[in-house]
Amino acid sequence: MGLLIVIVILVFAIPNIIDFISKQNEEEKEREKRRIEQEKIKNDYDALVKKYKESELTHRILKHICDGDYKKNLPEEIIVSHSSVRSDLNGCPHSFDFKQNRITGLHRDQNCHWSVSATEAMAEAINLLMGGKYRVYVKDGVAHMELEPIYDF
């Protein structure tokens, strides 16, 4: 009788145990897939930031929107969109329009992941070149950079 009870328990328990182990394996595979995807996104973003930071065109844009010397003349605000880079420097607006300068706009690189933002990567590259003195946030595909305050009230 005891052996029969053990067999009945095993018959009903084994499928549940197998289902549980299968679900655990599937969840682990999903987590690993998401981790790999996030790593690819980060690598694509870092590669795009590096590309923009090392580009001579980025330096040309900075010289234009910073009145010549982007090491000394820090705009209060910089806005990076797919078609231009604009700044406010001492209350005066400056703009570098890509079409006007016969340059393709900022679009996602074909090798990059779909969620990598070219405007955010360009803003990060500009921020790095300017000493990391800006707060960067993205709204509706446009990267906004605000000069960090240095004084408190």
Among candidate residues 139, 137, 117, 134, the one with its CA nearest the CA of residue 65: 134
Residues 6+ apart with CB under 8 A from 136: 120, 123, 124, 127, 143, 144, 145
Residues 6+ apart with CB under 8 A from 45: 112, 116, 117, 120, 121
**Structural domains counted in the chain:** 1
135: containing domain: 1-153
- Does the CA dihedral 110-112-115-121 come out positive or negative? negative
pTM: 0.74
For residues 95, 96, 100 and 105, what is the CA-based torsion angle, rounded to 10 degrees?
Answer: -130
* Residues 104, 98 contacting (CB under 8 angstroms): yes
Model pLDDT for residues 29-42, shown as the tens digit of each residue: 888 999 998 898 88
- Report pLDDT for 78: 95
Model pLDDT for residues 105-143, shown as the tens digit of each residue: 776 555 555 556 888 999 999 999 999 999 999 988 899
